[in-house]
Amino acid sequence: MKAIRLHAFGTAENLTLDEVETPQPGRGEVRIRNRAAGINPIDWKTCAGGGASAAIGELPFIPGWECAGTVDKVGEGVSDFKEGDEVFAFIRFPEAAGCYAEYTCAPANQIALRPESLSAEAAAGLGLAGLTAWQALHDKAQVKEGQRVLVLAAAGGVGHIAVQLAKAAGAYVIGTASAANQDFIHSLGCDECIDYSSANLAVSVNDVDIVIDGVGGDTAIEALHCLKSDGILVTLPSVTAAEVMAAAEKGGYRVLGIRVEPNGSQLAELAALAGDGKLSLSLGGSIPLAEVARAHQLSASGHQRGKLVLSIN
């Protein structure tokens, strides 16, 4: 099969399109004939030698943790999936998962059936962002109907999913975004839209039960003052998590960090919401597998709106 492999940590030019042996599913696994693979900041950070590089092991390795395609072979002990099933996945994170390839073997408990209303490209980009938002809201913050939820960077990859999930849970949702993205986050379900470039969060927003922080640093620290006395902030950027937690402890606020974990049952929850029209992924573009270096460069630029995916023929 064809696969993208990284032969040395460094720039995107170290990624090459290689011919490698097609993997065989082990016990509890299925093999997916991929149609698309998601691109995430953790991908290019890892390939550069940061991110999850410590968990990768020996090089070369096939990057990518999320994909969508068709089950074409089922390993022993798998009864929930069969050949021909359309599925999507977020697998093995933070260890190497091999999704930038024509075929990927995935643990059956880390995949879910793809609803017809969700394209393969959108499904391939939903796993990491969707599970991060789900686990932040439901596992960490335990969102409840009627609560007030503030989403920082509401137009971002995780943020725009978090807005929709909070709305689906019955929350009153406040989102921050640039002036250019105000209409976009309103269309997702934000009851209030805050232009972060001109508003003082601590003055503009108060009595919030939950903050989903997709920004970190000083912005997250400012958002602490929006919380109720028993509120909670879940901070997503790991690079500033310690700083935000220290400020929270000093001010008597509650903050939790998060590292997303693969979870097939939660992927199925996301699929159900997508199937019901309550959840959609904003796609920023589909790029051929062979042009992965360009995809990583676009993602790293920070100017790409919506999720990038690799298309795999």
- Over residues 175-192, the pLDDT tens digits come to 999 999 999 999 999 999
Taking the alpha carbons at both ends of the chain, their separation in whole angstroms is 11
In the structure, what pLDDT confidence band is assigned to residue 200 with cuts at 50, 70 and 90? confident
Biggest CA pair distance of the chain: 58
Q: Does 264 fall in a domain? A: no
Q: What percentage of the chain reaches a pLDDT higher than 70?
A: 99
Q: How wide is the angle at C-alpha 219 spanned by C-alphas 213 and 220, nearest 5°?
A: 40
Query: Could you tell me if 152 and 167 lie in one domain?
Result: yes
pLDDT tens figures, 42-79? 999 999 999 999 999 999 999 999 999 999 999 999 99
Structural domain includes residue 142 = yes
Statement to judge: residues 84 and 199 lie in one domain = no
- The total domain count for the chain is 2
236-270: burial string, b at 16+ Cβ within 10 Å, e else? bbeebbebbbebbeeeebbbebbebebbbebbebb
Question: How far is residue 30's CA from residue 28's CA, in Å, rounded to a whole number?
Answer: 7
118 and 138 belong to one structural domain: no
Domain limits for position 200 = 129-257
User: 290 and 217 in one domain?
Assistant: no
Q: Average per-residue pLDDT in the chain?
A: 95
Same domain, 12 and 109: yes
User: Is the pLDDT reported for residue 132 higher than 90?
Assistant: yes
Q: How large is the C-alpha radius of gyration of the chain? A: 19
Please check whether residues 182 and 115 belong to one and the same domain: no
pTM of this structure: 0.95
Q: Which residue, among 26, 16, 41, has the nearest Cα to 308 in the 3D structure?
A: 41
pLDDT at 159: 94
Q: Are 135 and 253 part of one and the same domain?
A: yes
| pLDDT tens digits for range 29-52 | 999 999 999 999 999 999 999 999
From CA 166, how far away is CA 157, in angstroms rounded? 15
Answer whether residue 272 is part of any domain: no
Q: pLDDT tens digits for 254-305?
A: 999 999 999 999 999 999 999 999 999 999 899 999 999 999 999 888 666 7
276 lies in some domain = no
DSSP secondary structure string for all residues of 104-169: EEEEGGGEEEPPTTS-HHHHHTTHHHHHHHHIIIIIIS---TT-EEEEETTTSTTHHHHHHHHHHT
Residue 239 lies in a domain: yes
> 149-166 pLDDT, tens per residue?
999 999 988 999 999 999
- Cα dihedral angle (310, 268, 103, 132), rounded to 10 degrees? 50
The pLDDT of residue 304 is 65
Judge contact between 260 and 93, C-beta under 8 A: yes
Domain-embedded: residue 206:
yes
Is-contact 99 62, C-beta < 8 A? yes
Q: Are residues 107 and 144 in the same domain?
A: no
User: Is residue 142 domain-shared with residue 118, that is, in the same domain?
Assistant: no
**Residue 126, pLDDT score:** 97
β-bridge mates for residue 69, sequence order: 34, 87
- Which residue type does 266 have? Q
The DSSP string of 230-292 is: EEEEEE--GGGHHHHHHHHHHHT--EEE------HHHHHHHHHHHHTTS----EEEEEEGGGH
pLDDT above 90 for 240: yes
> Is there a domain that residue 52 lies in?
yes
Q: Which is more confident, 200 or 271?
A: 271
pLDDT score at 301: 83
Cβ(257)–Cβ(249) below 8 Å? no
Q: Report if residue 267 sits inside a domain.
A: no
Could you tell me if 294 and 307 lie in one domain?
yes
State how far the Cα of 77 lies from the Cα of 59, in Å rounded to an integer.
30
Q: Which amino acid is at 270?
A: L
Mean pLDDT, rounded, for 222-240? 95
Q: Within this chain, do residues 101 and 142 fall inside the same structural domain, yes or no? A: no
pLDDT tens figures, 7-34: 999 998 899 999 999 999 999 999 999 9
